Amino acid sequence: MTNATSLLASAAAASCWREISLSAIVHNYRAVRSAVGPAVKIFACLKNDAYGCGAAEVAAVLAAEGVDGFGVASARDAYRVRSRAPRTPILLYPGISPQWASDVAELDLTITLSSASELEAWAATSERLSAFVKVDLGFWRAGALPAEVEGLLDRAAATPNIDIKGLYAHLNELPGTGPTAREQWSRLKDLLATITRRPAIVMLSSSDGVLRHPEMDLDAVDPGAMLFGIADTARAVRPLTLRPALHAIKARLVSVKRADASIGPAPDLPGYSPDMRMGVLGIGWGHGLPRDLPFGASAIIRGTRVPLLAPLHLEHVRVNLSRVPDAAFGDEAVLLGSAGGEHIDLAELAMHWRTDSVGICCGLQPDLARVYAP
């Protein structure tokens, strides 16, 4: 057998890839740091493999910046982060089972507790564990009811192997319904006024909180999307300039031909014609493109925009190359990014993919290779 491991290791061997700018992530991190000041801890939220940017690589650059901690939602992401940030605290959002307590202790992860039964299950493992208590301030998701928090903190204080380091809530507003950020904030303030065992770190802040609610900084913030330059900055009270970490999605032309009568009639779909010059890009819905891409989306090939043609396939999408007669097998096509004076940005892509910037970054699949710019 030949040694072809470079095929696996090299993104250059891939038919499609995304380009990620680590310096954009560092720039955004520094923007958050200067906004919250030196006294507020930053727990960088790296869930969903760091919003598609690679939790190991992102953890390495943020650890070098001196980030105070990380937040992740899966054991897999915790492992990726720990592999490149050996000492930084890692908070596991709700999700992992006490069955994994010895691994959690070995990787020195901080668990989340939302109820007395969770506390009991973790305590029963006999592992020495650090924990944050999560409170639900009206987001109707994970977290203890505000009325249960005091009792939970008391029980934890009487549990020798569980050390409560923090208390947090995910600040979020359900669109058009539910409590406003201000109502959640006032619930938290009421709670803090009543509990006697206030943990060292109290945290109520996503990107929304950092951008729109400076008064809610407390001891720590845990922004995610904004570190990747994809938070919604409309109505921001802190007008930060963020740079998108995902700056390109590219694919190669894996087939180029001119159709003729020998393959039969052209499909009766928008953008096809009987004698068209057509190409096939080595990217498809298996890499995270929407399966039902509407007509109107384009790619840039040799500095010219060409239409992408439905239907999409797992690994392929067709393009009409009539406007680029010299396009050739192996050419690079830009689905997101700049080439030859043309530019497709995240907002344009989000419109065609019927999602938003977070939906694009987090919807890209692991099979879409990552290439890092320093």
Ligand X SMILES: *Cc1c(COP(=O)(O)O)cnc(C)c1O
**Residues at the contact surface with ligand X, assessed by CB under 6 A:** 45, 47, 71, 93, 170, 206-208, 222-226
Query: Residue 48 and residue 200: Cα distance in Å, rounded?
Result: 27
Indicate the residue whose CB is closest to ligand X: 224
User: Which lies closer to ligand X via its Cβ, residue 85 or residue 293?
Assistant: 85
User: Which lies closer to ligand X via its Cβ, residue 119 or residue 220?
Assistant: 220
Dihedral sign from CA coordinates of 197, 133, 148, 122? negative
| Nearest distance in Å: CB 141, ligand X | 8
User: Which lies closer to ligand X via its Cβ, residue 94 or residue 286?
Assistant: 94
203-207: long-range contacts (C-beta < 8 A, 24 or more apart)?
A: 203/41, 203/43, 203/132, 203/166, 203/167, 203/168, 203/169, 204/137, 204/168, 204/169, 204/171, 205/171, 206/45, 206/170, 206/171, 206/172, 207/231, 207/232
User: Which lies closer to ligand X via its Cβ, residue 199 or residue 223?
Assistant: 223
| Nearest distance in Å: CB 201, ligand X | 13
| Nearest distance in Å: CB 109, ligand X | 15
User: Which lies closer to ligand X via its Cβ, residue 89 or residue 223?
Assistant: 223
Alpha helices in the chain (DSSP H): 6-9, 22-36, 47-51, 55-64, 75-84, 101-106, 116-123, 146-157, 181-194, 207-212, 346-352, 357-363
Query: Residue 45 and residue 374: Cα distance in Å, rounded?
Result: 21
CB 281 within 8 A of CB 309: no
| Nearest distance in Å: CB 132, ligand X | 10
| Nearest distance in Å: CB 221, ligand X | 9
User: Which lies closer to ligand X via its Cβ, residue 206 or residue 298?
Assistant: 206
| Nearest distance in Å: CB 91, ligand X | 8
